[in-house]
Structure 1
Amino acid sequence: MIVTSLSAPHAAQRIVFANEKGGTGKSTTAVHVAVALAYQGARVAAIDLDTRQATMHRYIENREETRARRKIELPGPVCEVFRGTTVEELEEQAIRLARNADFLIFDTPGRDDPFARHVATEADTLVTPMNDSFVDFDLIGQVDAESFKVRRLSFYAELIWEARLKRSRATIEQQRRQMDWVVVRNRTGHTDARNQRRLDQALGELSKRVGFRVAQGLSERVIYRELFPSGLTLLDKGHLGELGTSHLVARQELRSLVAQLNLVVPKAAPQRVLAAEGTA
């Protein structure tokens, strides 16, 4: 569980959504977690590091347009795109946004990127979404073709492992938070049983070696793509119209994921009142 630093009791907790492979549901997960935290009363800011697609930033722009058009309250993050060229500029932007935030979220591009590597190593909570396939697993570890046992760590896993070791030493010396690395398994419903068992075994083995936790993520659902133009999320009860049973299940998946991240919202934050479960 994340605790507040003693040296900076009001410092924003950094949550980084990072995966060097695209198509893992990273931005969708980041947006929904940001909105979930805002609904709990947290002040949330976000930086989109994907300057080309800027999916998270576009989502929040759409959300602001819907809020203004419908004249409704839609809690969410303040989101900016990083347009700088140096790590120093990125840190200046992060520090500025963090002054008025409890959580600072980074959405990173689905490719190798120096700024994404930087924020990943500085994360308080690093969230790595992945689809349930060995193509995605290869990002963090390589397995034997016959036994499916982990042969070696990937470059990315080694990078995070070294960052966590460095953070462990700094935790005592500089009173920094320890990094919590969470691998989120998205789209598990599209994996056959045998492949899922093999992935369970490989993730379990690798998690013991490098110290990440495994969380169940979001299923593949059309509604996530349908909500993008309006900027709405499954948490926006009362603004979504008629929802089917599968959408209510998806909402519960999202709540479960947020709970598994163990993020601590300040007690003073006033929670928004949500409609009762089962209503739109």
Structure 2
Amino acid sequence: MKQGQHPKRFRHWRKWVDRAALFWIACLVCWCLATGVPPVTQTAVSLAPSSAATASDPLQWEREGRSLYDAGQFSAAAAIWQDSAKGFAELGDALGKAGSLNYLSMALLELGRWEEARTAVEEAVRLSSGTDGNGALLAQALNNRGRIQLALGDGDAALETWREAANTYESVGDDVGRLGAIVNQGLALQSLGLYRRSETTLETASEQIAALSDPRLQAAALRNLGVALQVVGDLQRSQTILEQSLAIARELNAPADLGATLTALGNTARGLQNFEDAL
């Protein structure tokens, strides 16, 4: 969308695009980046730590926590990730603990336990930083820190954190992570009322996504961008971007990507219908 175009549309959308909406979109982007898989809805399951899992098997708990989180069972996921963090600590695995704490902060945030979420993610950032740290894990933790900051209403801090996350993703060669962090910057700018800067940031992300050579990465990045465009009110562009992602996913015969993109397209279609009804 060109700057200055469709002012009536933006006035309409700005009535309901608030901090909560931006937060939930950031959740989708961050979960996708944290897990490496698209955030698709799954049938609810009830999992407990395997009887074979002990403090020496925290990785299994972490995986079970991810399944619970995907199923919307955030309390159970938080409990298991607390156990996995303790298990990694007992093994002296600081990076393993950082990963579990990063996941834990996401579940705590879903539960509205803001300060606990902030404490967990700050510890994840600390453990994954420094000479013994891990750049990829640090980037994920920073991305999640921005999500928490946005949820708490600090758009300025979220914007700065997502800039740092983008630089960290770039340092480890993760193009999709970097572009996801740039998309999140657009959401932070939107939360601050800087709509034109938000549009410019999302346009920059779009241009860089088009230059990706790996079609699987391009499909994921396009989906993230399409979802973000839903929030800033550019529904026609969102639909176009998501259809591009869908076409790539079909060529790759990637069911998970197809499902996630079709869900996003459905949300955009409903938004377009609601918008037409409101005019």
Could you tell me the TM-score, scaled by structure 2's length? 0.32
Higher helix fraction (1 or 2) = 2
Q: Which has the higher contact order (CA 8 A, sep 6+)?
A: 1
Higher strand fraction (1 or 2) = 1
Could you tell me the TM-score, scaled by structure 1's length? 0.32
